[in-house]
Amino acid sequence: MALHLVTTIEALEEAKPSIHTVEGRSIGIIKSNGEIFAVRNVCPHKRAPVCQGQIRGTMLPSDPNIFVFGLENRILQCPWHGWEFDLGTGKTVCEGLNRQLNFYPVTLRDGSVYVEI
């Protein structure tokens, strides 16, 4: 495995994926809530470019007639079918489905973002 310089931390916008190609793979670099994630730009549902979607929050499980919004800037929503994935775990928040995003290890050094492939 090798470290690849992808971008600078300063170039990243909060909650806006930045898409890069590393070793022939499309990877979204996402800065959200003080963390930086490297996500393979492929939705596990229908292989859509998931990092072209929005970073947002979502409705959380709750009691009937109670609506709780949460996970602000922690959800990556696929642009094709709206599938939602938690950036903290990579797992879909869709009940009963067992799909998840692929992440790459990120190293931050001297203001730069490196991804390990």
pLDDT tens, position by position, 1-23: 899 999 999 999 999 999 999 99
* CATH number among 2.40.40.20, 1.10.620.20, 2.102.10.10, 3.40.50.2300, domain 14-106: 2.102.10.10
Which H or E run includes 59?
A: strand 54-60
Between CA 94 and CA 98 the distance in angstroms is: 9
95 pLDDT above the threshold of 80: no
Q: What is the pTM of this model?
A: 0.90
Tokens of 43: 């939705």
Between CA 95 and CA 15 the distance in angstroms is: 24
Between CA 63 and CA 52 the distance in angstroms is: 32
